[in-house]
């Protein structure tokens, strides 16, 4: 008979088997939250995947900071919706029209595609409240629909949650690997990864 702890380990490993790894917001602009050695440990983990896709935040920078092993693509995103007056108006209207919206609800909105592109906003229950799905993310989500992916990066309960919830909403079998997630609660001094 197997020990309960062995069954849990097997189930955890089974849940983390996938061909695609998604890395969210592992960027120099967030260095104060990323533990020492995190990028190196994550890069070693990348070698276990056939495909690595990095989703990076463009609110405070104009390019990703690193390219990881087996990385096939960089996908730009913005956190929240406050970077666009048009999106702020759209989410204000959604709040009024759908006051009981639940996390993961997808809303198709008419946007001026010349300004920002995309046409979906997802309800998120974190600091951001809403997450805008730009054209690049829409295309990625179409490609990944029905596939199993592992999500890493950060920050926990922040942007990584935006990606996780929106992926699940679009029919992607997304799973977290908590061994490779940083938090806005951590700092280089608090944690060193081995």
- Percentage of the chain modeled with pLDDT above 70: 80
Output the CA torsion sign for 76, 79, 82, 85: positive
Domain locations along the chain: 4-181
- The SS3 of residue 127 is coil
Render pLDDT for 141-164 as a digit per residue (tens, 0 to 9): 999 998 999 999 998 888 899 999
DSSP state, residue 30: G
The answer to whether the Cα torsion of 10, 14, 19, 23 is positive or negative is negative
Q: Supply the pTM of this predicted model.
A: 0.84
Does the pLDDT of residue 122 top 60, yes or no? yes
39: tokens are 């990028």
| One CATH from 1.10.1060, 1.10.3470, 1.25.40, 3.40.50 for 4-181 | 3.40.50
């Amino acid at each position: 008979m197997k020990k309960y702890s062995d069954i849990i380990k097997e189930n955890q490993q089974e849940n983390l088997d996938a061909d695609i790894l998604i890395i969210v917001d592992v960027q120099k602009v967030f260095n104060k939250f990323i533990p020492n050695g995190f990028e190196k440990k994550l890069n070693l983990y990348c070698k276990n995947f056939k495909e690595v896709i990095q989703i990076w935040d463009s609110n405070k920078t104009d390019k990703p900071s690193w390219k990881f092993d087996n990385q096939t693509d960089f996908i730009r995103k913005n956190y929240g919706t406050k970077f666009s007056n048009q999106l702020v108006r759209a989410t204000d209207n959604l709040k009024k029209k759908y006051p009981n919206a639940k996390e993961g609800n997808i809303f198709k909105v008419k946007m001026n595609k010349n300004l920002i592109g995309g046409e979906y906003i997802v309800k998120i229950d974190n600091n951001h409240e809403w997450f805008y799905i730009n054209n690049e993310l829409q295309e990625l989500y179409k490609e990944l629909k029905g596939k199993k992916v592992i999500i890493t990066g950060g920050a926990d309960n922040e942007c990584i949650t935006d990606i996780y919830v929106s992926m699940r909403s679009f029919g992607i079998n997304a799973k977290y690997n908590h061994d490779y997630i940083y938090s806005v609660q951590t700092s280089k001094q608090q944690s060193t990864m081995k």
